[in-house]
């Protein structure tokens, strides 16, 4: 049986929402302010919740960003009464699996939002209870997020006994604790040495209380810092203009090994150009290692790949997403290099030294696509925000002619990956209807996104999308709490 018009519309709606859920965080982008982004995203969530609730929940199993995952969970719980018993059971499995993968601060913020919204039904309390029971180090959570954990326990009417309950609700009522983390926190009130065994964000408050110089504190607290905390300290130092300091924030250094590819690309682009040049070998080695790890068994199996990568001025991003589009393009460059047996990268600026890139100039996508197709690739990957402006519309015309006249049999696979959500269109900006477009946030998801983009070509329908989401949901929920 052929697809009905309603099925085709539903398929397009789901793919549009997935693109938004991958790319948008409701924050300012280069072409749209935060208010437009937030309103556009909220409308999409409400539209999907009421129009396609089962598919809306299933999106939790995809590689969407944490902001949208939390929004989906919140909406499903706020409107739980509108789903039948079987639907609530399936949603509960998805919610539990997604909460297990979210950072604890996002989960606790979500629970606070539910409290403010007055959502306190039995299902919500059970989800909060199970999440708390699954935590591997509740003492650490209690010390680092004491206020949020306490609010959650009160909201869910949970019974917490022993030292955990005492610490949360009457922390100064004990002369000592058997739990090492709680005892360290107690001693840090009057003993400076104790604060250096606490989490960095907690120790920071005690250091201020004791009047410890910032440089001294950062040097001694370094062993307690997470990799991300070290990274943020370095990035902030460079952003504030401390370019002369190679080791910002005291002696804090970041171990680049094992860092996720896109995060590593973001870190590299935050460094001044002279620092990148000095650390070229270290940064390049780390980026290539991260790319090989992301490629996994697909490494070297994609044949001849050509990539058109956007480093135009619009990849500056915004104050909240500084150089994020350029970082995604840089990470995709290294991943495609690992995936391809033969690789041809083409940056819109014409530059060839990817490590020294910075946002520059217009976006001549049409010219670069012509150059890429001239190399005879098996795959062409375009990573851009889609604002083709040198001249406007050339990329769409080149792709149209290529698809309709030069390559109607689609021997060359062409995919457009867009890291920027377009608030006006409720989707990522597309170059042309003849080429599939998918939103991208992390380059590590590139192989999956290219598979997902195939649905946007119109050669598959709603049944295929449902089957794909069903398979992803089964794998996602079967993984349990990793």
Q: How confident is the model at residue 458 (pLDDT cuts 50, 70, 90)?
A: low
User: Is 250 domain-assigned?
Assistant: yes
Does residue 286 fall inside a structural domain? yes
Using the predicted structure, report yes or no on whether residue 404 has a pLDDT greater than 50: yes
User: CA-CA distance, 182 to 395, in Å (whole number)?
Assistant: 60
Read off the DSSP letter of residue 354: G
**Domain ranges, residue 286:** 228-291
428 pairs with which residues across the strands? 421
Lowest mean pLDDT among 222-236, 334-348, 410-424: 222-236
* Greater pLDDT, 273 or 257: 273
- Phi/psi-derived region of residue 357, left when phi > 0, alpha when psi is between -120 and 50, beta in every other case: beta
- Looking at residue 247, its pLDDT comes to 46
Query: What proportion of the chain, given as a percentage, has pLDDT over 70?
Result: 88
Query: Is 278 among the domain residues?
Result: yes
Lowest mean pLDDT among 199-208, 253-262, 393-402: 253-262
Q: Give the pLDDT of residue 457.
A: 63
Residue 277, in any domain of the structure? yes
Confidence at residue 63, expressed as pLDDT on a 0 to 100 scale: 87
Confidence of residue 281 (pLDDT cuts 50, 70, 90): very high
Given 3-state DSSP classes, what are the helix, strand and coil percentages for the chain, each rounded to the nearest 5? 60, 5, 30
Whether residue 282 is contained in a domain is answered as yes
Mean pLDDT, to the nearest integer, of 363-383? Answer: 95
% pLDDT > 90, the chain: 56
Q: pTM higher than 0.85, yes or no?
A: no
479 pLDDT more than 80:
no
Q: What is the pLDDT of residue 169?
A: 92
Question: What pLDDT is recorded for position 236?
Answer: 65
Q: What is the pLDDT of residue 244?
A: 36
Taking every pair of Cα atoms in the chain, the longest distance, rounded to a whole number of angstroms, is 81
CA dist list (Å): 110 to 80, 114, 117, 130, 482: 16, 6, 11, 15, 20
Q: Is residue 346 part of a domain?
A: no
pLDDT at 246: 38
Give how far the C-alpha of residue 232 lies from the chain's centroid of Cα atoms, to the nearest Å.
16
Total domain count for the chain? 1
Residue 265 lies in a domain: yes
- Residue 177 in any domain: the answer is no
Check whether 38 has a pLDDT greater than 90: no
pLDDT: which is higher, 231 or 98: 98
**Among 83-87, 88-92, 149-153, the least confident range:** 83-87
pLDDT band at 3 (very low <50, low <70, confident <90, very high): low
The dihedral through the CA atoms of 48, 49, 55, 61 has a sign that is positive
User: What pairs with residue 345 in β-bridges?
Assistant: 307
């Amino acid at each position: 049986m052929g697809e009905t018009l309603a099925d085709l519309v539903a398929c397009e709606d789901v793919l549009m929402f997935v693109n938004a859920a991958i790319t948008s965080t409701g924050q300012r982008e280069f072409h749209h302010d935060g208010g437009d982004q937030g309103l556009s995203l909220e409308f999409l969530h409400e539209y999907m919740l009421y129009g396609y609730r089962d598919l809306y929940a299933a999106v939790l199993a995809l590689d969407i960003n944490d902001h949208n995952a939390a929004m989906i969970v919140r909406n499903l719980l706020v409107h739980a009464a509108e789903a039948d018993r079987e639907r609530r059971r399936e949603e509960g499995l998805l919610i539990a699996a997604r909460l297990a993968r979210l950072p604890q601060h996002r989960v606790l913020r979500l629970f606070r939002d539910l409290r403010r919204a007055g959502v306190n039904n039995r299902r919500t309390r059970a989800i909060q209870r199970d999440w708390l029971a699954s935590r591997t180090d509740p003492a650490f959570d209690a010390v680092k997020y004491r206020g949020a954990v306490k609010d959650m326990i009160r909201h869910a009417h949970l019974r917490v006994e022993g030292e955990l309950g005492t610490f949360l609700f009457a922390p100064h009522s004990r002369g000592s604790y058997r739990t090492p983390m709680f005892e360290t926190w107690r001693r840090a009130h009057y003993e400076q040495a104790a604060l250096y065994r606490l989490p960095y964000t907690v120790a920071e408050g005690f250091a201020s209380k004791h009047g410890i110089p910032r440089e001294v504190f950062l040097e001694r607290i370094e062993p307690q810092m997470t990799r991300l905390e070290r990274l943020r300290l370095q990035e902030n130092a460079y952003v504030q203009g401390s370019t002369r300091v190679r080791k910002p924030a005291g002696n804090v250094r970041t171990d680049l090994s094992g860092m996720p590819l896109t995060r590593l690309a973001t870190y590299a682009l935050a460094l001044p150009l002279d620092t990148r040049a000095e650390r070229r070998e270290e940064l390049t080695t780390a980026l290539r290692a991260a790319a090989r790890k992301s490629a996994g068994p697909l490494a070297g199996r994609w044949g001849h790949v050509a990539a058109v990568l956007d480093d135009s001025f619009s990849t500056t991003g915004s104050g909240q997403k500084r150089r994020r589009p350029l970082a995604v393009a840089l990470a995709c460059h290294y991943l495609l290099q690992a995936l391809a047996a033969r690789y041809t990268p083409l940056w819109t600026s014409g530059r060839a030294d990817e490590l020294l890139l910075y946002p520059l100039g217009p976006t001549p996508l049409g010219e670069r696509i012509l150059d890429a197709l001239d190399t005879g690739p098996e795959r062409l990957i375009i990573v851009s925000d889609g604002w083709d402006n040198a001249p406007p519309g050339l990329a769409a015309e080149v792709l149209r002619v290529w698809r309709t006249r030069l390559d109607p049999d689609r021997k060359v696979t062409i995919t457009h990956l867009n890291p920027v959500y377009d608030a006006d269109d409720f989707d990522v900006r597309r170059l042309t209807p003849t080429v599939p477009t998918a939103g991208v946030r992390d380059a590590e998801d590139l192989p999956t996104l290219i598979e997902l983009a195939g649905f946007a070509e119109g050669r598959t329908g709603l049944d295929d999308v449902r089957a794909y989401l069903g398979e992803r949901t089964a794998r996602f929920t079967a993984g349990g709490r990793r």
